[in-house]
Every structure is written in C-alpha cells, then in structure tokens.
Amino acid sequence: MATLSYSYCVSDLPDHITEPCIPRKKSGISAIAVILPGHGITDFTNAVEVQAAIDDGKFKVIGGCEKGTRFEYPAASPVEGDPDSACLDTTIDGYDHLVNGEDFNVNAENDEFYGQLHLVKGACLILYYCSADEMRLVTDPLTFRVTNPISDFSHRIKQKYSVSVSWFTDAGNIGSELLAAPEGIFC
C-alpha cells in the first residue's frame, strides 16, 4: 500500500468537481514557453504583462498553432522511498515529471537557442494546450535537454530537435497550475 511520506494522517480532502455537461478537453500541446528569472509577471493570464516580458526577452515561446512543434506530457513517475514505519509497505516521496517534444524549425539561430537552453537555471515553464486555449504553469526547478538536429540515412525523415524538460515535485503537489492562456500570445 503506497502512503504519502509527508503526512500519514490526511483527515480531509477538497471536493472533487464533476462537470458532466461539458466536452472533454483534448490534450495537444503545440507550444511551450520558457520564462526566465526577472520576468516581472504577476498574472500569467494577462496578455499585457506577458507581452512586456516577451519584449524584454524574458518569455521565450517555442512553437504555437501550426508552427512545426509538438509536445507531450505523459503521466508523472512516482518516486518511492523507504518507509519510516514498520507497518508501511512503500512511501511515495514525490513525482518525476517529463515533457518531450519535437521542433522541426531547424536553423542556425535555433542551434544557438537550444545550445544555451541547457544552461538556464531558475526558469519557469508553460505548456500551451492549443485545442483548449489553456496552459499549465510549472514553477519547480527545471532541467532542459536538447539533442542536435536529428538526421537519418533517407530523405524521408524531417530534421528536428528533440526537446525534453524534467522536474521533480513533492508528494501532494500536482506539479503545475492550469490557467487560461493570455489572448494572442501562443496563436
């Protein structure tokens, strides 16, 4: 039996909200945004604040609607730890999250961008859901990995960067915040 390691006595849970009369959301992620430290944004749904951070070079959008990028955010992997009680089988200390993506916009400028992305520390991440016009904001410490543009033996496979972003969250933390996307930023 898995038990959350940060608390063995959860006495209350918030209500779960069922929305039976709305269409189910699709999950396509067409863009991500890397938000650098010092961005100055207090409301990530405010297009004026986000545009100011873009103009200041602190908010970098990768992709968008029909712009040659696609990303996936599979289920997070539980990180199991040693139980601190003989009566417990397993504890879950947290979760490893991973976003994978492909960027078909291969050019010299993006070689430089992705080469520097590995060095970014203290950034935030946004995942943009194109079919719902919503986004997920991640503020936990991130690790970026990007491969060189992939090329194979044939001419049938398109060149692309393979991008991954990973982070860890403590147990009891969903790992991101769902927000309405600011108007006109991603599409």
The residue-averaged pLDDT of 73-80 equals 91
Q: How many residues does the chain have?
A: 187
Q: Between 127 and 6, where is the model more confident?
A: 127
The SS3 call for residue 102 is strand
Q: pLDDT for 94-141, tens place per residue? A: 999 999 999 999 999 999 999 999 888 889 999 998 888 899 999 999
Strand segments (E) across the chain = 2-4, 29-35, 59-63, 69-72, 77-81, 90-103, 124-129, 134-138, 143-146, 161-170, 177-180
Asked whether residue 150 carries a pLDDT value surpassing 60, the answer given is: yes
Could you give the CA distance from residue 30 to residue 133 in angstroms, rounded to a whole number?
Answer: 10
**How high is the pLDDT of residue 5?**
44
Q: Between 3 and 186, where is the model more confident?
A: 186
Q: pLDDT for 156-178, tens place per residue? A: 788 899 999 999 999 888 888 99
Asked whether residue 50 carries a pLDDT value surpassing 70, the answer given is: yes
Give, in order, the Cα–Cα distances in Å from 15 to each of 45, 60, 101: 25, 36, 34
DSSP string spanning 124-145? Answer: EEEEEETTTTEEEEE-S--EEE
If residue 54 lies in a helix (H) or strand (E), which one and from where to where? helix 47-55
pTM beyond 0.85, yes or no: no
Could you give the CA distance from residue 97 to residue 78 in angstroms, rounded to a whole number?
Answer: 9
